[in-house]
Amino acid sequence: MNFAIIGHGKMGRLREKVIIEANLGHVIHVCDVENPDRMADFTKDFRDIFNDPSVDAVIIATPNYLIKDLVVKTLDSGKHVFAEKPPGISVSEVKEMIAAEERNPGLKLKFGFNHRCHDSIMMAKKQIDSGEFGKILWMRSRYGKSVDESFKNNWRSDKKKAGNGILMDQGIHMLDLLMMLSGGFDGVKSYCSNLYWNLDIEDNVFALLKNKSTGVVASLHSTMTQWRHLFSLEIFLERGYMVVNGLLTSSGTYTNGDGKEILTISKKRSKPPLATHPEEERFSFSVDNSWKIEIEDFIEDIKNNTPVNSGNTKDALELMTLVEMIYENGMN
């Protein structure tokens, strides 16, 4: 397959590197207004990509506010689309992309939520789906980072370009995982705050989410005033629990200093109040395969003309609907 990439910053370069090193296809065009240092033919006019019949699929790795228009134009030019998260900056934008997808039924549209493809997450979901541990009772999640004054010069600090703050930037990944594991949420209680950076975006989101049909409740804290990088996802079930501590990322700063992603699974516990966990197992992962798995799945869906099962527009609409509910509730 022949790929083109629109947006050649950190994510565009990462996607290009994976495609080339894993021999998943050929990157024959890159379009970017600011980053000409690259491996394939460079252009500053995305119409060069749309007008090239040899391009099979386009990866969109631009600032958030550009995603919707580029997705729509790419689909209407007859090419498959892989777009980085978030899926636009509003529910209305997702609906515009769905309309473009519907009028181009032979094309695939996938959004990049690579956290679903981390080995620890996939193993946890497999164990949950097995039914061995019973139903999920509740979940607790924290995802945060440290930023400095230079963040104010980043497009992510501009609400018009980013759509909003830390929830849209990073917390949306954790929110997507919570939804994937729980089946979704239709109840929200939340608080959004901006007590430190004094920008027009939030620097903290605290949310309680409820699936009213199953009763599952999940907590989410998304923050950029944590002064360290941290990823923690805890899942408590009827007959045990699972905890993912640390996450393998391109920055290498979310693994608690050990360079590993650790999944802890406990099947039994002793009697309370001094409970111990004699059957607690730990699984560690030191290689991040998520980027490769995502692109491989995208390519297979194209080649086999199968539906996009993960990161599709249904997922995108449900996710952005919940994001808007969190903002609406949290800023009142």
Q: What is the DSSP string of 182-249?
A: HT---EEEEEEE-SSS-SSS-SEEEEEEE-TTT--EEEEEEESEEEEEEEEEEEEETTEEEEEE----
Q: How far is CA 326 from CA 10, 84, 140, 219, in A?
A: 28, 21, 16, 12
β-pair partners for 285: 261
Please tell me whether residues 185 and 237 are part of one structural domain: yes
Please tell me whether residues 238 and 277 are part of one structural domain: yes
**313 Rama class: left (phi>0) / alpha (psi -120 to 50) / beta:** alpha
DSSP-derived pairing of the beta strands 240-245 and 261-266: antiparallel
Please tell me whether residues 96 and 26 are part of one structural domain: yes
Q: Is residue 54 part of a domain?
A: yes
CATH code: domain of residue 266: 3.30.360.10
Parent domain of 267: 119-247+249-286
Please tell me whether residues 268 and 124 are part of one structural domain: yes
pLDDT given at position 37? 58
Q: How many domains are there within the chain? A: 2
Q: Which DSSP category does 288 fall into?
A: -
Calpha distance 263→167 (Å, rounded): 24
Calpha distance 82→61 (Å, rounded): 9
Q: How far is CA 240 from CA 181, 271, 276, 290, 322, in A?
A: 15, 13, 12, 26, 28
Of the candidates 90, 145, 84, the one whose C-alpha atom is nearest the C-alpha of residue 111 is 84
Task: Report whether 295 contacts 18 (CB < 8 A).
Answer: yes
* Strand, helix or coil for residue 324: helix
Q: Is residue 48 part of a domain?
A: yes
Of the candidates 23, 30, 56, the one whose C-alpha atom is nearest the C-alpha of residue 45 is 30
Q: Is residue 53 part of a domain?
A: yes
Of the candidates 120, 118, 173, the one whose C-alpha atom is nearest the C-alpha of residue 289 is 118
pTM, to two decimals = 0.94
Last residue of a domain, one of 72, 87, 111: 111
Distance of CA 296 to the CA centre of its chain: 17
Question: What token pair was written down for 87?
Answer: 């899926």
CATH code: domain of residue 93: 3.40.50.720
Q: Is residue 159 part of a domain?
A: yes
pLDDT tens for each residue of the chain, 332 residues long: 999 999 998 999 999 999 999 999 999 999 987 765 555 577 878 899 999 999 999 999 999 999 999 999 999 999 999 999 999 999 999 999 999 999 999 999 999 999 999 999 999 999 999 999 999 999 999 999 999 999 999 999 999 999 999 999 999 999 999 999 999 999 999 999 999 999 999 999 999 999 999 999 999 999 999 999 999 999 999 999 999 999 998 788 898 778 899 999 998 776 767 666 667 899 999 999 999 999 999 999 999 999 999 999 999 999 999 999 999 998 87
Q: Which residues of 208-235 are buried (b: 16+ CB within 10 A; e: fewer)?
A: bbbbeeeebbbbbbbbbbbeebbbbbbb
Torsion angle of C-alpha atoms 110, 104, 91, 321, degrees rounded to 10:
-60
Calpha distance 83→58 (Å, rounded): 8
Q: Is residue 304 part of a domain?
A: no
Q: Which DSSP category does 117 fall into?
A: G
Please tell me whether residues 22 and 131 are part of one structural domain: no
Calpha distance 81→67 (Å, rounded): 11
